[in-house]
A and B are shown apart, each in its own frame.
Chain A
């Protein structure tokens, strides 16, 4: 099922052009015919053109990258046909930054294509789609910005909405791009599953889901069979102030080296007391991390975690101090590993404590966001800290002065690494934005670097955006949903032209 549409070479390019014209032009003509009457056939989408000229360490490492994205949807009655095609052209693909995952794709690809049907009773899709079940414990296949992944399921999915039940079923293939790149062969996984959710009186719910996956492995060649099931339940606004959710999942994995079982247990309770919100969570994960799940993170969503062996509670409090225009967020968590109990030889466990505080302050033209995060692995004497502050000062109608500071520390008894970065930007925006930026990075006080850049964003019409960046972008760690990615540094010229129709 679902071998992706790929073309390469000159013939492929001709095919793509013909294919786009075949779809776009008749659609446009049909629309034109119907503009006087009731509009039943509609097209909407986006065209984005990117062009980068990257400066390498030496002039022979310089390369250019061109990318043309065309995404459009044709809507007719309850049906929508969608296509997202990308054309890539590198002057030398071998020179491309390893963190640029575009380079793993063919020159020409229909990255997304689908036929959607949507009515009150049924939603169905044939083609590519993303999906998740519950809190992502049994299934999570999404574009993941923090990891730079954008691999959908190629197959079919449907959701039936009955009076008291929602029933979902799906199945298809997913290509694993990172392994494919590392081992120079195609890694294709299969995922299929279902979920049933019963809506009970008083906003209570009860659900169950199952997922069967066949995951390609890099060595020895073959597939791991992974089976998961879960039950979940909870309610919203219980007694007017309490949200509850509980989920229990089990996982069985049959691989080349035998079978392994694991579990994931998650409970959350959120209470609302005037300007104060309190969220109490408990997680217990054992052998639970696999390619297509993303359970609730053990701690802060803007740090990195693994979910194979962790358990413990977390308390998150937010307070709205309206009189001061401030929002205060505080979190405390403690995690333990199961390994501590199971290892008779006194092997180190993984007891962790973490807390963070964040303040958002909005007073007239001033917006300030600042926070401090600290995490300690008490058995291994490892410490991680993150401090950041962003200040935005609006001047006049649209101009803005932005100043920021960010410092990360990783320290143990035998090493300590601190990276701090300060930046300053001035944005002028009468009909777009002209930003001038300066960043200064200091690594453990032994090396420092300066980064200068200018960026123009210009909107000649409401539907067109032109963006030109010239200079150096320091990149850095970007985190979301408990997963992090090191953004590549960039030096050179980067342009994009986006048009939405």
Chain B
């Protein structure tokens, strides 16, 4: 390690002009694109829940604050995050908040998902995405856990990647902020 550090320092920043120019170009693109693009709406999706019933995002979009959470049974940070999501869901569901969890385990592990959901007392909908269609669209690099927060207007407000201790407090205050925003006209809220 010490030898590697010495070598790295000896080479200084001379990594070659090509990677540095590419990095600069990528950062420039990152800074440029927000000037022409704005907050986006997620694609509608239809997935089956654990009992085989179809669930459509469109039935909730534009009226509720939604947190779409991608997880897997083998993912340790997911196991730490899910009980917090359940707690937040129970706290705010009557005010128009819902969690839609999408399991990403391979179909071969399907029999283990429902015991997992019951073990953690998860009462929000758990959906299956066996063709990874929604994962492809909302989470192209397939990070876990991965959450997409959607406001009452149906726009993606923020994306959460990974779980660190205390993340749930930030998420809770963001949800609270979104729930205080006025409902869009014609929205069918949970309490309406």
Residues of A whose CB lies within 8 Å of any CB of B are 24-25, 27-29, 31-32, 35, 39, 42-49, 51, 53, 55, 59, 62, 64, 66, 68-69, 71, 73, 75, 78, 80, 82, 84, 87, 89, 91, 112, 114, 116, 118, 120, 123, 125, 129-132, 134-136, 140, 142-143, 145, 157, 161, 199, 203, 205, 236-237, 243, 245, 268, 270, 272, 277, 279, 281, 294-297, 301-302, 316, 318, 320, 327, 360, 362, 367, 369, 390, 392, 394, 397-400, 427, 429, 433, 450-452, 462-465, 471-472, 480-482, 491-493, 497-501
Interface residues of B in 27-52 (CB under 8 A from A): 27, 29-30, 33-34, 36-38, 40-46, 50-52
CB distance from B39 to the nearest CB of A (A): 8
- Listed by A's residue number, 6 A-B pairs whose Cβ atoms lie within 8 Å are A24-B36, A32-B38, A62-B7, A320-B119, A472-B4, A498-B161
Could you tell me the distance between the alpha carbons of A414 and B51 in the complex, rounded to whole angstroms? 50
> In this assembly, does B118 line the interface, its C-beta being within 8 Å of a C-beta of chain A?
yes
Known A32-B38, A89-B22, A497-B30: A142·B114 in contact at CB below 8 Å: no
A68 with B26: CB separation less than 8 A: yes
Known: A112-B140, A452-B1. 11 other contacts (CB 8 A): A49-B27, A49-B30, A53-B8, A55-B8, A66-B23, A91-B15, A134-B107, A142-B132, A243-B111, A301-B112, A492-B4
Could you tell me the distance between the alpha carbons of A220 and B120 in the complex, rounded to whole angstroms? 52
- Residue picked from A55, A145, A427, most chain B C-beta under 10 Å: A55
- Residue picked from B4, B141, B142, most chain A C-beta under 10 Å: B4
- Residue picked from B11, B115, B121, most chain A C-beta under 10 Å: B115
**Could you say which of B63-71, B75-83, B86-94, B175-183 contacts chain A?**
B75-83
Could you tell me the distance between the alpha carbons of A327 and B117 in the complex, rounded to whole angstroms? 12
A80 with B132: CB separation less than 8 A: no
Could you tell me the distance between the alpha carbons of A129 and B131 in the complex, rounded to whole angstroms? 8
> In this assembly, does B173 line the interface, its C-beta being within 8 Å of a C-beta of chain A?
no
Majority-rule SS of A interface residues: strand
- Residue picked from B43, B108, B109, B120, most chain A C-beta under 10 Å: B108
Top 9 A-B pairs, shortest CB-CB distance:
A28-B36, A44-B40, A277-B115, A71-B140, A398-B166, A49-B26, A136-B107, A481-B106, A236-B51
Instruction: Name the B residues within 8 Å of A362 (CB-CB).
Output: 80, 83
- Nearest-neighbor residue (CB-CB) of B116 within chain A: A318
B19 with A125: CB separation less than 8 A: no
- Nearest-neighbor residue (CB-CB) of A130 within chain B: B132
CB distance from B13 to the nearest CB of A (A): 10
Could you tell me the distance between the alpha carbons of A448 and B79 in the complex, rounded to whole angstroms? 32
CB distance from B33 to the nearest CB of A (A): 6
Residues of B whose CB lies within 8 Å of any CB of A are 1, 4, 7-8, 11, 15-16, 18-19, 22-23, 26-27, 29-30, 33-34, 36-38, 40-46, 50-52, 54, 56, 72-74, 76, 79-80, 83, 105-112, 114-116, 118-121, 130-133, 136-137, 140-142, 154, 156-159, 161, 164-166, 169
CB distance from A118 to the nearest CB of B (A): 6
CB distance from B174 to the nearest CB of A (A): 9
- Nearest-neighbor residue (CB-CB) of B159 within chain A: A500
Known A243-B114, A245-B111, A497-B27: A492·B8 in contact at CB below 8 Å: yes
Q: Which of A31, A35, A268, A450 contacts B1 (CB 8 A)?
A: A450
Could you tell me the distance between the alpha carbons of A398 and B163 in the complex, rounded to whole angstroms? 11
Instruction: Name the B residues within 8 Å of A497 (CB-CB).
Output: 26-27, 30
Could you tell me the distance between the alpha carbons of A493 and B118 in the complex, rounded to whole angstroms? 42
Instruction: Name the A residues within 8 Å of B43 (CB-CB).
Output: 73, 75, 80, 116, 118
A44 with B119: CB separation less than 8 A: no
Q: How many A-B residue pairs have CB under 8 A?
A: 237
Instruction: Name the A residues within 8 Å of B19 (CB-CB).
Output: 51, 64, 66, 89, 91
B8 with A493: CB separation less than 8 A: yes
A132 with B107: CB separation less than 8 A: yes
Instruction: Name the A residues within 8 Å of B36 (CB-CB).
Output: 24-25, 28-29, 32
CB distance from B144 to the nearest CB of A (A): 9
CB distance from B154 to the nearest CB of A (A): 8
Could you tell me the distance between the alpha carbons of A51 and B154 in the complex, rounded to whole angstroms? 35
A318 with B42: CB separation less than 8 A: no
A501 with B108: CB separation less than 8 A: no
Could you tell me the distance between the alpha carbons of A48 and B159 in the complex, rounded to whole angstroms? 14
A429 with B166: CB separation less than 8 A: yes
Could you tell me the distance between the alpha carbons of A136 and B132 in the complex, rounded to whole angstroms? 13
A143 with B132: CB separation less than 8 A: yes
Instruction: Name the B residues within 8 Å of A66 (CB-CB).
Output: 18-19, 22-23
CB distance from B7 to the nearest CB of A (A): 6
Known A75-B43, A136-B108, A501-B34: A397·B4 in contact at CB below 8 Å: no
- Nearest-neighbor residue (CB-CB) of A269 within chain B: B111
Known A130-B132, A471-B1: A118·B44 in contact at CB below 8 Å: yes
- Nearest-neighbor residue (CB-CB) of A236 within chain B: B51
Could you tell me the distance between the alpha carbons of A141 and B22 in the complex, rounded to whole angstroms? 33
A80 with B51: CB separation less than 8 A: no
Instruction: Name the B residues within 8 Å of A199 (CB-CB).
Output: 52
Instruction: Name the A residues within 8 Å of B156 (CB-CB).
Output: 44
Instruction: Name the B residues within 8 Å of A55 (CB-CB).
Output: 4, 7-8
